[in-house]
């Protein structure tokens, strides 16, 4: 580092210099070390995964070309490369003492959303909002697994609903499209085309509503796909408890992002 002992200012500019600049004298000297001592919270959280990287990379190299292609197909759903998705998944398994490798899936990758509704808990309403303008064609996409039971005679359902505002000349209106999920189903996709209007305003709402049901809902890749990008917060379920507002949410219910372990999902 350069050290300045003397500054010379000529041409009658000394007074101007004093009026504009403030100088400080530093008496401390510090050593420069190659070892780093300070880390942010996010960096500290990620440090343990660095030591697992080599083992995860070796596991990838041991895969057959066919299995690597399966990981590429699964990763393509969320815009990843198969290698990146596998490494992310494998490091999680190593750190949590899970043996072997996960099976690549077209319906869920790494973490998934989980909503548990105990029997008799009541209705649930989760919501996201944003101010992005919807472009068309737009498709609501969701991959889900359901283990739900409807209350007897109470018309139980689970719906995923997308709304946006528009003004075609007669004032602001709201377009709402919704898909009703099958209450008992393995992992599958339920896409829905969003109805198109003109004069679209930058306002949208995405909701998950459960009425008169109990059990478990798992989901991943929940978003609205448009020509200009994805609409939705946390579409890959990294932290659903953070990004979904609990509009109606009984205390006995659970909302979380979980890793789909082999025996559970």
Cα separation, 64 vs 119, whole angstroms: 45
pLDDT at 126: 98
**CB-based contacts of 49-54 (< 8 A; 24+ apart in sequence):** 49/91, 49/95, 52/90, 52/91, 52/94, 52/95, 53/87, 53/91
How far is residue 231's CA from residue 132's CA, in Å, rounded to a whole number? 7
Give yes or no for residue 36 having a pLDDT over 70.
Answer: no
Written as six digits, the tokens of 87 are 């490494």
Decide which of 263 and 81 is more confident: 81
- Banded pLDDT at 154 (limits 50, 70, 90): confident
Please, which pLDDT band fits residue 51 given cuts at 50, 70 and 90?
A: confident
Options 3.30.1760, 3.30.1490, 3.40.50, 2.60.120; CATH of 112-258: 2.60.120
Interatomic CA distance for residues 153 and 19, integer angstroms: 82
Check: CB of residue 251 under 8 Å from CB of residue 119: no
pTM of the model as a whole: 0.80
* From 28-32, 43-47, 141-145, 154-158, the region with the lowest mean pLDDT: 28-32
Reported confidence tier of residue 173, pLDDT bands at 50, 70, 90 = very high
Q: Which residues contact 29 (CB under 8 A, 6 or more apart)?
A: none
- Tens of pLDDT, residue by residue over 188-239, are 999 999 999 999 999 999 999 999 999 999 999 999 999 999 999 999 999 9
- Taking the C-alpha atoms of residue 114 and residue 148, their distance in angstroms, rounded to an integer, is 12
SS3 content of the chain, % helix, strand, coil (to 5): 20, 35, 45
Mean pLDDT, range 95-120, rounded to an integer: 94
pLDDT surpasses 60 at 17: no
Domain ranges across the chain: 41-95, 112-258
Residues 100-105: what's their mean pLDDT? 94
């Amino acid at each position: 580092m350069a050290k300045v002992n003397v500054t010379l200012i000529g041409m009658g500019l000394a007074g101007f210099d004093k009026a504009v600049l403030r100088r400080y004298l530093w008496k401390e000297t510090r050593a420069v070390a190659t070892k780093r001592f300070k880390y942010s919270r996010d960096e500290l959280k990620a440090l343990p995964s660095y030591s697992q990287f080599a083992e995860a990379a070796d596991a990838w190299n041991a895969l057959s070309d066919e299995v690597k292609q399966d990981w590429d197909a699964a990763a393509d759903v969320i815009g990843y490369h198969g290698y990146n998705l596998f490494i992310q998944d494998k490091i999680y398994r190593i750190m949590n003492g899970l043996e072997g490798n996960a099976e690549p899936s077209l319906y869920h990758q790494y973490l998934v959303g989980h909503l548990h509704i105990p029997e008799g808990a009541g209705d649930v309403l989760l919501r996201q909002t944003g101010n992005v303008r919807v472009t068309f064609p737009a498709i609501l996409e969701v991959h889900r697994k359901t283990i739900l039971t409807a209350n007897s005679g109470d018309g139980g359902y689970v719906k995923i609903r997308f709304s946006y505002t528009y003004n075609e000349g007669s004032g602001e209106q709201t377009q709402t499209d919704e898909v009703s999920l099958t209450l008992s189903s393995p992992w599958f996709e339920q896409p829905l085309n969003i109805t198109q209007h003109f004069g679209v305003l930058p306002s949208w709402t995405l909701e998950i509503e459960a009425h008169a049901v109990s059990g478990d809902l798992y989901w991943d890749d929940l978003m609205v796909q448009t020509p200009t990008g994805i609409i939705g917060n946390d579409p890959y379920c990294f932290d659903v408890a953070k990004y979904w507002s609990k509009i109606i949410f009984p205390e006995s219910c659970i909302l979380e992002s979980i890793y789909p372990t082999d025996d559970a999902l």
